[in-house]
Amino acid sequence: MPNPNRGSCGFKSNEFEQEYERPSKSQLKREMSALQKLGEELVEQPRDRVKRVPMPEDVRDAILECQQIKDHEGRRRQMQYVGKKMRSLEEDEIAIIQKTLDSWKGLSKADTAAMHALERRREKLLTDPEALTELLAAHPELEVQHLRNLIRNARKEQAENKPPKAYREIFQILKQLQGAQKSGNGEQGEEDHDEDGETDAE
């Protein structure tokens, strides 16, 4: 039997539908976080790459400016501004930026496996003193003191939550060693990437 009181509460059904269709706060927060991360990915890219990404000029300028800021607090504030500029983009503009970043990360499965192997080797260098001895035995041309300094600095970066400059340099050294071993096989393709999908150029 139909309820005679249905619809008599003073609200139209389409008002409920409109309320229901609004994005939830958690969804909006996820979208904002995703755009913030996308902006951070762009900041981490080499400047010449950022200049080639299709995007509004004001967004690009904010990213390029953030790359030049060395002060931690100043960089954090500028990064928030980058996130704000990213949220001003249209969906199609965001899609183009994401597609461009994805194309730069287009590593094959073999490249990805090799990259992960290098990451594990780097971690071992930071945690196992024998790993450095083994590396130097296999590659006596390496500068011992320089490597030790990098390892010490990388540990300090992790302990103090600092930008991973030495950490990345260790990866680049290991990658170059791997590239030298594969140079005779014509497999230099992966040399264009580091663990974050970046080129060596800064």
State how far the Cα of 100 lies from the Cα of 57, in Å rounded to an integer. Answer: 17
Q: Is the pLDDT of residue 186 over 70?
A: no
Query: What pLDDT digit, counting tens, does each position of 43-74 carry?
Result: 888 888 888 888 899 999 999 999 898 888 98
State how far the Cα of 169 lies from the Cα of 179, in Å rounded to an integer. Answer: 15
Higher-pLDDT residue of 127 and 2 is 127
Query: What pLDDT digit, counting tens, does each position of 135-163 carry?
Result: 999 998 999 999 999 999 999 988 888 88
pLDDT band at 194 (very low <50, low <70, confident <90, very high): very low
Whole-prediction pTM? 0.42
Q: DSSP label at 52? A: T
Query: What pLDDT digit, counting tens, does each position of 69-96 carry?
Result: 888 898 899 989 988 988 888 888 888 8
Cα 184 from chain centroid (whole Å): 31
Cα end-to-end distance, the chain, whole Å: 73
Q: Three-state SS for 73?
A: helix
pLDDT of residue 38: 86
- Find out whether 119 and 195 touch, Cβ atoms under 8 Å: yes
Q: Three-state SS for 26?
A: helix
